[in-house]
Amino acid sequence: MERILFGDNQFFAVNHISDEKSMAQSIRFKEDAAIIKTLDVARNNGINTFMCTTHDRIERICAIIRSNAVKYEQYNLYPCLPYAHKYANSITENGVLGTFQKFVPGNMVGSLLKGGMAVLSRDYIDLMELMIDSELKMFKGLHTPVIFLQNVVTDLLLGLRMTDFLVGFHRYIKIKYNAEAGFITMNMPMLLDVLESAGIRQPIICTSINKAGFRMSGGMALYEKVLQEDRARIIAMQILAGGAVPVSEAIEYVSSLPGISSLLFGASSKTNIEETVSYIHHFDQMYTVPQKMPIYA
């Protein structure tokens, strides 16, 4: 994993502080060319990994990257699935059965029709694998060395103690896609304990880490204690706490912490990208943090 990862929230009008900014971003990135231009700005600043959802528009971005294979030869994408809003919208429009028919290929839909919940309960891991395959089709032929389970699912499974799903995801991503599984969560300490108890060592976990304690379930002190123990490969996200912490102050805090492999951020302007990258390099040098961390075999 590279030290700095670029996210996609700004492309899809996700802003945790301001609805006005969300609207402005929605207008700004209405065209795919605007997204590609911003990704290229990030690339020009040394960021060669794009961590993105499986939003419908990402399929078009993948097609553009795929059609420019030489330009993006060293470029990595980290898919994050599922994109929950896509399924929620489909259920509203098509109903539950219609959504299964739309997103789940092959004989599974027919089996569900015949056996109902009995089949679903018996074959839920198979169903999960089919849905993973469906979500990842758009990334065919691209470099996807790490594939993430979104926090809306990770934390639901964590709360329901459905560890077998987490283990199944981890195993399937490795076997089918020759990639590492990553988990996004708002409760890193609990997730890490659960994954380790299931035999998953040094997992890749993407989690909120910021000076404001924003979306850090369990509290900052517990997070800082776990980071000291070096038990996982941690990606810090929401490092600006949704805009509540000034950039320089926010980055100094996360750069000073041990055990953080990568920093994830999103930005919509050239100036903000350059400023954030500059601060990361500056504070990494101050706290002697390596610019790249290895992916464990």
End-to-end CA distance of the chain: 12
Half-sphere exposure of 31 (CA within 13 A, CB side): 3
**Long-range pairs for 254-257: beta carbons < 8 A, 24 or more residues apart:** 254/209, 254/210, 254/211, 255/280, 255/283, 255/284, 255/286, 255/287, 255/289, 256/283, 256/287, 257/209, 257/224, 257/227
- Tens-place pLDDT, residues 210-263: 999 999 999 999 999 999 999 999 999 999 998 899 999 999 999 999 999 999
Tokens of 251: 């980055």
Residue 175 has pLDDT above 90, yes or no: yes
Average pLDDT of the residues of the chain: 88
Residue 50 lies in a domain: yes
Q: How many domains does the chain have?
A: 1
**pTM over the 0.95 mark:** no
Residue 100 lies in a domain: yes
The pLDDT of residue 24:
73
**Domain assignment of residue 62, given as a range:** 4-286
Residue 53 lies in a domain: yes
Q: Which residues contact 74 (CB under 8 A, 6 or more apart)?
A: 48
Could you tell me the sign of the dihedral formed by the alpha carbons of 29, 34, 36, 39, in that order?
Answer: negative
Residue 291 lies in a domain: no
Q: For the domain that residue 200 is a member of, what is the CATH number? A: 3.20.20.100
- Tens-place pLDDT, residues 86-139: 765 656 777 766 766 666 655 555 545 444 544 444 467 888 888 899 999 999
Residue 294 lies in a domain: no
- Measuring CA to CA, how many Å separate 281 from each of 4, 45, 75, 99, 295? 10, 11, 20, 45, 21
Residue 190 lies in a domain: yes
Other beta carbons within 10 angstroms of residue 283's beta carbon come to: 18
Residue 154 lies in a domain: yes
Residue 296 lies in a domain: no
The pLDDT of residue 126:
81
Q: How many angstroms separate the CA atoms of 97 and 73, rounded?
A: 40
Tokens of 259: 């055990």
The pLDDT of residue 84:
73
